[in-house]
Amino acid sequence: MVVGDIEVGTDVLVIGAGPAGYTAAIRLGQMGMDVTLVGPEIGGICLNHGCIPVKGIVRTLDLVADVTAAEARGIKAHGVEVDLNKVQAWNAQVIRKLQAGIRSLLNASGVQLFEGTCSFTSSTTAVVRIHGSTQHIRFRKAVIATGMHYIVPEGIRPDGRRIIFPHAVAHLHKVPGTAVILGGGIDGATMASLLAKMGTRVTLAYKSASLVPAIDDDVLQPAMKSLADLGVQTFPQASWEVHSEGGEVVIRSGNETTTRTPDLILICSPTKANVQNLSLDRTKVRLTDKGFVEVDDRYRTADPSIYAIGDVLGGRRNASVAFRDGLSVANIIAGKPGLPDYQAMTLTIEAGLDIASAGMGEKEAKKAGIDVTVSRSPYSANGGAATYGKQDGFIKVVAEKQTGRILGTQIVGPRAGDLIGEALLAIEMGARLEDVALTLHPHPELNEIFADACARAAGLSANVVKK
């Protein structure tokens, strides 16, 4: 198709080029459908401003920390410094390479890509805008995959420089001396860790009693200690006021009132769907009371020709779910069965110490009335952790007491995001504690910690000292 005033047709119009959108477009193209993908950034927030660049910076900072702390291992390193501009240049190169891979897959699948914005003109037509030009499109089906954005809190005026949202942190070229983070959850924890590792003095205030309520308190405790060791000051159950003119932030937590005038104010606010520019009023699509797109169990909106996937649906979601949504909706549109429901989703959090979870935590399982067996295995008992020189943390397994079926796993410690994969597979496969405990694991490696946690719960571990 050529950009112009002549209306062109396509089988499926996918709006949004993030993990959900480009996955759906590629899969639909592979199944022989004529697909048009529209989005201002290939890879969306995840690739350009979130997961990839944030982890790129964190892992660079962790590498520096490892080198400077390795003298006991015989490594002499002095004057190791981080050039943030070069880190950002390296990150940009990584992003371009990954974008090129996505473009290659889109091209190989026959997907027509428009790097612009899109809005509906009816339930079967839309207009694409690219650098001042327009293209009118008629479609049989459309998929909304435009992601989400942070809600601007009342009384706060983000300026993109001093008062920002988390997605801007990955592009900082100067380390702020001080920062106040308002809001907890995964974003608050990750941003506090990232900025503190950069050398910023961080104040973190959040409204709930727990920094990340989805994670069990005992799992959070080592991470909270790690954040404190990095110099992060935390204020739970807090309220705050931001005085934009004077630059002051007043934080109230318990009986304590604290005033900060930071170099950077980071707003980790709730989110809502990116649909404000889609002209949904020209369709039958409906939104929930929280501002997300309403769909049925097959991703269908109230408009028969329009589907929605990814973060626009709200709830506990991430890129892993978005990839799956994209594959599933593509199958459904092509007349095939959608993918079956997953048993467990995963969360990964950079919080001083890495945190990862899969399935149900202990407090969630008990709240659901399930009689559970809970077991922990520490990194300190693992030979692989000793060889890495990183022995803080543990793996916690939650299983149904009567059957031994694994319900969930939470990890706090190095490489948590890598280690959680086996737990996810175990939950999806309906594995019991014995299934994992009796499976041979490579030695000496970190994966043995998960096996040992299962073995301890099943009474099969040699690492338990009976009193």
3-state DSSP assignment of residue 99: helix
* CATH superfamily name and code, 163-267: FAD/NAD(P)-binding domain (3.50.50.60)
pLDDT band, residue 1 (cuts 50/70/90): very low
Q: What is the pLDDT of residue 180?
A: 97
Q: Is pLDDT above 60 for 220?
A: yes
Q: Which two tokens stand for residue 335?
A: 């007349």
> Taking the domain 353-458, which CATH number applies?
3.30.390.30
Q: Which two tokens stand for residue 387?
A: 């060889």
Each residue's pLDDT tens digit, 157-197: 888 889 999 999 999 999 999 999 999 999 999 999 999 99
Q: What is the mean pLDDT of residues 436-447?
A: 96
In terms of Cα–Cα distance, which of 17, 10, 97, 89 is closest to 57? 89
Per annotation, catalytic residue among 171, 243, 441, 443: 443
Give CA–CA dist 193/199, Å, rounded.
Answer: 10
Q: What is the mean pLDDT of residues 453-458?
A: 96
In terms of Cα–Cα distance, which of 421, 427, 425, 423 is closest to 407? 427
Q: How far are the Cα atoms of 74, 76, 106, 294 from residue 70, in angstroms, in the given order?
A: 7, 7, 44, 52
Predicted TM-score of the model (pTM): 0.93
Whether the Cβ atoms of residue 42 and residue 102 lie closer than 8 Å to each other:
yes
Whether the Cβ atoms of residue 233 and residue 212 lie closer than 8 Å to each other:
no
CATH topology of domain 8-149+272-334: FAD/NAD(P)-binding domain (3.50.50)
Q: Is 243 a catalytic residue?
A: no
Q: Which two tokens stand for residue 127?
A: 């207009």
Neighbours of 359 (CB within 10 A): 24
Neighbours of 160 (CB within 10 A): 8
Q: Is pLDDT above 50 for 333?
A: yes
Q: Is pLDDT above 90 for 244?
A: no
Give CA–CA dist 460/439, Å, rounded.
Answer: 12
Q: What is the mean pLDDT of residues 78-95?
A: 92
Same topology between domain 163-267 and domain 353-458? no
Between 70 and 197, the more confident residue is 197
Give CA–CA dist 287/297, Å, rounded.
Answer: 15
> What angle do helix axes 185-198 and 217-229 make, rounded to 10 degrees?
30
Q: Evaluate the CA torsion angle 440, 441, 443, 448 in order and state its sign.
A: negative
End-to-end CA distance of the chain: 74
In terms of Cα–Cα distance, which of 11, 23, 47, 15 is closest to 308? 15
Residue-range domain boundaries for the chain: 8-149+272-334, 163-267, 353-458
Q: What is the pLDDT of residue 2?
A: 44
Query: For all residues of the chain together, what is the average pLDDT?
Result: 94
Q: What is the pLDDT of residue 449?
A: 97
